[in-house]
Structure 1
Amino acid sequence: MEPEITTNQTDSVKDKHLCYESVNESCIMAITPSTIRVLIYIFNGSLSILTTCGNLLVIISIVYFKQLHTPTNYLILSLAMSDLLVGTLVLPFNIALTVSSCWYLGDILCKLQGSFDIPLTTLSILNLCFISVDRYYAVCHPLRYRTKINVHVAAIMILVSWGVSALVGIGIIILGLNEGKCEGRCLTFNIPISSIAGCIFSFYLPAIIMLSIYLKIFLVAQRQALSIQNTNCQSIKSGASVSKMERKATKTLAIVMGAFLICWTPFFLCMTVNPLSNYSIPTAVIETFILLGCSNSMLNPFVYAFFYSWFRVAFRMVISGKIFQGNFVNSKLF
């Protein structure tokens, strides 16, 4: 958003509070009532804690239990690590910025905050893209799945996701933040071209790829279901149970992807429209959409626990501390 710039000659802002009273080109501070401020602290703080603890459960479960050491779960592990970083690095900064709308932590921390925010979103969507590729082979080419998607391939996918996201973060630092803007605001992608290009390559393009892959999976899964209904062969029934498990996993991960798109699409639409509309979208609206996007990082562990019985078993063993009372690495979770 194009912040309001205040000069000594402007009479209309005399009654408004500035981020820096002694600076001519200071941003105007948003005055938040103390009750609302406390509620924001409580909500954001709770969101940060739930996000951190929930994704720690996923990480510990996948790392500890050998039965969860699969290519799909390694990709889920990478997604959980990116969500954990959102809970520990992004949300605390957002708490400081949302309450007063002013940024008092300096340009260096502003650049660091920007280098975490967008890159971690990019990391999440790249992880989801590779998860959709994993599901594509599992459902559409089950006989080739183990040869096409193995631990080494999953490791390459994870390295690519983190490498591209790191480059995005470095690019944000090089481009710089807050250039040509009023003092006291921390903004990402002030330049219209970089804002729109960033949205296209970090969100829209991967989202279109994911949706296309899941549409293909849905069509193939429907054909498989009809084929299974029209046969009574025992060997086919055995294969059908495996196919059913794969389809359930695909459905669960499609819900994870859908939740991600629902949570983050409003923010990226704002980032696209805002430069084209001369930064007319209110800061409060953008901050609300950022919070909605960040809340997605909290949802995934609950989705896994709801749809996967083996994750529920693993979560209970971790929360109860049972894994510290003996060796349960080879426990049968499903």
Structure 2
Amino acid sequence: MSSDWPPPAAAQLCYEHLNGSCVKTPYSPGPRLILYAAFGSGAALAVFGNLLVMISILHFKQLHSPANFLIASLACADFLVGVAVMPFSTVRSVEGCWYFGQRFCQFHSCFDGSFCYASIYHLCFISLDRYLAVTDPLLYPTRFTANVSGLCIAFSWLFSIFYSFSLFGTGANEAGLEDLVSALTCVGGCQIAVNQSWVLVNFLLFFLPMLVMIIVYSKIFLIAKQQARKIESVSNKTVRSSDSYRDRVAKRERKAAKTLGIAVVAFLISWLPYFVDSIIDAFLGFITPTYIYEILVWIAYFNSAMNPLIYAFFYPWFRKAIKLIATGKVLRENSSTIHLLSG
């Protein structure tokens, strides 16, 4: 019996005059408008929020530090998600159609994978940076230098891009799934299938740095708790100025670690369901309904818009920088020397 049944008479096709066209998602105008507004707002926040982070760190000289360059590079990955991934995924998710060509569908998947892995490896290196800063705040500047930060950034980008383009660009992800891919292929579709071998590799490349981050941040918060008790125990005693300075530095580094720890937790909550579902799907015959898949994908995408909100909430320097940029004061001569950090 043939499985090529014609679509129902009322169904709309992505391409009305082409045989084998995909069927459009049957949303009425109201829900369609709401979805476009929600997804479009997420993309806009990812673009402009992360652009503000990058401008703030790169423009103001006081923010030029190895740790902040890592944050700026992370913001760049999230910015590119907002520019090169989310707008096209918005149309695909709402319309159920891909209007941008099959070749760009492949590039879209490569961009998606590249920026996702770039984000997690940046966050992994940031967690190690915070560990060094909290365990020995006075020696930290000599251990995590600009060169070390540059190597971390270079590895995060080069590895992520090379892996994603090698996997999706060559079609290795679909090896052994040719019959399934052929059966599901229609004109106007852009769904990428990943076989069992590569889905395990994908998960490991996500899980291993995730495990490192969980272990490192667990140690950071234990150390922070010990330092807080120590400071409390000597709060009523006279301490040397060097000890007082060390305590102030340690407090600042703990606060930075807490903020970035929240960013890490937000990333894991956003992406873990997607990666778990990808394994379930690959081993149980791709059983996830389309709408569930789209929900998981967009939860992951919205993570790219969350970090600027976290920074704005916890970092006074970022709020000051936003005010200077929004009022145009950033264009004044010598604005790069404005002090944003207290103490």
TM-score (norm 2): 0.89
Q: Aligned pair 1:320/2:327, yes or no?
A: yes
Distance 2:286 2:164 in 1: 23
Q: Give the structure 2 partner of residue 199 of structure 1.
A: 203
Structure 1 residues 57-116: Cα deviation after superposition (integer angstroms, max 9, x where no partner): 111111110000011100000011001001111111111201122223222011011011
SS at match of 2:337: coil
Out of 292, 304, 312, the position equivalent to 1:305 is 312
Indicate the residue corresponding to 1:240 in structure 2: 247
State yes or no: 1:217 paired with 2:207: no
| 1:30–1:101 Cα contact (<8 Å) kept | yes
Q: Partner of 1:123 in structure 2?
A: 118
Identity %: 37
What is the CA–CA distance in structure 1 between the aligned matches of 2:198 and 2:164, rounded to whole Å? 13
1:62 matches 2:65: no
Aligned to 1:295: 302
Amino acid at match of 1:219: L
Question: CA separation in 2, counterparts of 1:64 and 1:17?
Answer: 50
Moved over 4 A (4+): 13-22, 176-179
- SS state of the match for residue 267, structure 1? helix
Give the aligned residue type for 1:197. V
3-state DSSP class of the match of 1:329?
Answer: helix
Distance 1:122 1:52, change over 3 A: same
Of 63-72 and 317-326, deviating more is 317-326
User: Which AA in structure 2 matches 1:293?
Assistant: A
Q: What runs of 5+ residues in structure 2 fail to find an aligned partner?
A: 175-180
The answer to which of 266-275 and 78-87 deviates more is 266-275
Partner of 2:288: 281
Q: In the alignment, what sits opposite 1:167?
A: 162
1:204-240 Cα offsets, whole Å, 9 max, x none, are: 1111111111111111112222222223323322211
- Code of the residue aligned with 1:62 in structure 2: it is I
Distance 2:94 2:330 in 1: 41
The 2-side partners of 1:263 and 1:299 are apart by 10
Distance 1:116 1:333 in 2: 34
Maintained 8 Å contact 1:266/1:289: yes
CA-based RMSD of the aligned residues comes to 2.0
SS in 1 for 2:336: coil
1:154, 1:160 → 2: CA distance? 10
CA contact (8 A) 2:106 2:169 kept: yes
TM-score calculated relative to the size of structure 1: 0.91
Q: CA deviation at 1:18?
A: 5.2
Count of aligned pairs: 325
2:94 to 83, 95, 99: 99
Whole-angstrom distance in 2 between the partners of 1:213 and 1:93:
36
**Alpha-carbon distance, 1:303 to partner:** 1.1
Of 183, 190, 193, which aligns to 1:186? Answer: 190
Alpha-carbon distance between aligned partners in 2 of 1:121 and 1:248, rounded to the nearest angstrom: 26
Displacement of 1:176 in angstroms is 5.7
Which residue does the alignment assign to 1:3? none
Structure 1: give runs of 5+ residues left out of the alignment. Answer: 1-5
* Displacement of 1:143: 3.7
Q: Is the 8 A contact 2:173 2:195 kept in 1?
A: no
- Give how far 1:28 is off: 4.5
Contact 1:139 1:246 in 2 (8 A): yes
Instruction: Determine which of 114, 133, 137 is the counterpart of 2:132.
Output: 137
Equivalent position to 1:259, from 243, 252, 266: 266
